[in-house]
Chains A and B, each alone.
Chain A
């Protein structure tokens, strides 16, 4: 709270300085609407901020001034000199109170009533002059003494930007230097460069952090604000906050502070109903307000969701229709969504009376303007009678993103690592692309996904071959993006690109990777939009179904011809295997894949390598199993009705399409194989002083050959085979493969094929 107060003081001081010109200008020309608006916004902001900082005196002063200014804005009152003087006196007073708060000094509040009364124009002008003299002149002498030492420094963003780009220049220069030095190969210079690299990296982090702040800063005052506002309007509200650890540009946080406060106030004052109304509607007496933040790709998404009455669009339309009769026809044609969006129109309040809480319609249009100033968007999800969700989507202006660098449509682009669920290498025979007019879909791991091809999207000739698919997630769904290649990942700073580039709609910003070639960040949401993908219907269903999210199961035909299923989450992937990758060792089939051996389940009758063509790769923690199947059919929701059964690896039987189907229990499968994995895998002892080297270089090869590599035998363990260097003077007993340091003596230590052959010979 202390930090917030400090910030409020610094901010008010700054605005006061900035606005002093406006005030003087307004005094000279009271009809100047722009100046009036600026002053009005100032007092309105003060009122908003001090409401939740619990500064009742400032609230009272600013509220009074706002009332008077509002009357002038509405044309109910002429801005005569007396009013101007009274407003100025109040603004001066606000400045004094702020300085007093900062210095922790007491400030006599006498005269404030008179200041406020002066606004109504009631007292004779003479009195105003007296008040002026007493309250403005006297504290002026004291003001410098009140100022306490500031604990923070406020820097211009330009200065920080200069620092950022300076550091980025340094990183690029460092990279060039590194390339140059590598050619020279001087280890001493390289060590120095290493130190430079560390320093530069630290500096880059620090400089970036100067502009980043956790969104917690923005959320911290909310509990208090909610409590106070709810107390004023006599409602019960329970607040939940999520995602406070999302990091955001400080500048952005400043810009979002006011909109967020407005939205929360609105939600409590206008959205959530009175307790009686809630009871009548069958809702719990306490309203629920949920404020959350999360990073979705290149956006920060802030949602303010209440379970109140939502926006009464009929009343809204009726009100605007009354005030602006010429729009009746246009209003009548609006969709529900557009009708709700009418709340963003300037000068509108759905309440007819202004309250001390939410004000008078300066709300939503200002909120929208503020959010759009950040380059963001504001969206409403209005569910009449059930609540309103306001989403603020603000761009990551200065985020460091973990970027996946990809090639697509003949150019290099970046994807945010966060939106990429997986990258699937396409096996031509396994992936089928179905086209329906302009849209296409692809089946990835039993799931049909829309397929988006950048070349097609950009109206270029499409390449025939599909090499890689990136499964990317957007807010409401997932789709597959065709890629040519994935080259690298890097942590990169994202900056907004020029408007001409952003207008294409598929880019989220630009980056400069270490090689100094600009890189465009793809906006996966924009791509989905441009490709005409719509997840709306799907997402709404998902919202309703969240409570009873069904477990999904993969349906397949087993090697013995029986149709079975297994919980889909247990299946890491479905893999087609060549028979050469399956070997029999120690009575168990082993699948060699990515340099490791995985046991193959044989309970359903796969005893020969030829039986294994397609496997389900199961993975739980670090235990792995390959389950051979004939064909994988599809993913189905697991039926609610499950008859327990206890036969083999099955844990139950359920009806799928009218047929009873066994449901396999992945834990039992792994358990059944557990003994085989631990006990029957023969040991390979890495003997002698070269053990560590062997472990590093040969272990993958040894394990791929079906052994477990150890450097020391536990008591009672016996090695099937031992590896020792050919020149080892103290070879172990038993079967030994001698490794030579050069070709010709024993098995040459870098001859992988020979080593595998020797190991397999020993195992047979």
Chain B
């Protein structure tokens, strides 16, 4: 965390968040969403980014913030989203508003907020509020729910012997 780096400032469910610009592919308005039945609620659907397909993620859900008025998937709901690539897959992370690009110095997460540090790299001081610096890799990994509850009973069975 040495020095300042460029970040996008966005708001998600009323909270200010920072996204490293180095990781941002583009910022888009998603208008048509193809739903993916059966996925975690945080997956809003698929959207075409020119010839590529991005998985649209509801950041509010992943961050455990109030879902509020979730954008209804459909032709009229325009959702602003930040596009990024994680492990070769394209994701569009839906945010409420996108305000600014600025340099921030990221400070470590205050002790005691371990739940938040599952998806954040740290915090920074914004205009009258604390901004949460998102860790995109962990945010994507956390789509299915809280990170520490990820092992299903089945996984636990098969992985235990090899560790022993």
Contact = CB atoms under 8 A, between A and B. Distances in A.
A171 interface: yes
Contacts of B55: 497-498, 500-501
B38 interface: yes
A326 interface: yes
Interface stretch (A10-18, A509-517, A572-580): A509-517
B47 A518 contact: yes
In this complex, the member of B34, B38, B162 whose beta carbon has the largest number of chain A beta carbons within 10 angstroms is B38
B161 interface: yes
B143 A500 contact: yes
A517 B32 contact: yes
A428 interface: no
B164 interface: yes
The 6 closest A-B CB pairs, nearest first, are A168-B51, A518-B46, A504-B38, A498-B55, A498-B89, A169-B51
A179 interface: no
A458 B37 CA distance: 7
Contacts of A166: 51
A684 B162 CA distance: 79
Given A510-B46, A512-B48, A512-B53, A520 B161 contact: no
B47 A504 contact: no
Given A498-B91, A500-B143, A503-B144, A512 B51 contact: yes
Contacts of A498: 55, 89-91, 140
Contacts of B87: 499
Contacts of B39: 500-501, 503-504
B40 interface: yes
B13 interface: no
A532 B37 CA distance: 18
Nearest to B43: A500
A172 B38 contact: no
B6 interface: no
Contacts of B42: 500
Contacts of B90: 498
A296 to B, nearest CB: 23
* Consensus secondary structure, chain A interface: mixed
Given A165-B52, A168-B51, A172-B51, A499 B89 contact: yes
B34 A520 contact: yes
Interface in B16-44: 32, 34-40, 42-43
Interface of A: 165-166, 168-169, 171-172, 324, 326-327, 330, 345, 409, 411-412, 454, 457-458, 460, 495-501, 503-507, 510-512, 516-520
Contacts of B162: 345
Contacts, number: 84
Contact of B36 (A168, A460, A504, A517): A504
B40 A500 contact: yes
24 contacts: A165-B52, A168-B52, A169-B51, A327-B164, A330-B161, A345-B162, A454-B37, A458-B37, A497-B46, A497-B89, A498-B89, A498-B91, A499-B89, A500-B43, A500-B140, A503-B144, A504-B37, A506-B38, A510-B46, A512-B52, A517-B32, A518-B34, A518-B46, A520-B46
A499 B43 CA distance: 11
Contacts of A506: 38
B50 A169 contact: yes
A512 B50 CA distance: 10
A136 B116 CA distance: 56
Contacts of A520: 34, 36, 46
A495 B53 contact: yes
Contacts of A454: 37
Contacts of B36: 501, 504, 507, 520
Contacts of A330: 161, 164
Interface in B77-115: 87, 89-91
Contact of A172 (B35, B37, B47, B50): B50
Contacts of B50: 165, 169, 172
A517 B37 contact: no
Contacts of A516: 48
B42 to A, nearest CB: 8
Nearest to B50: A169
Nearest to A327: B164
Contacts of A497: 46, 53, 55, 89
A169 B48 CA distance: 11
Nearest to A505: B38
B127 to A, nearest CB: 33
B48 A501 contact: no
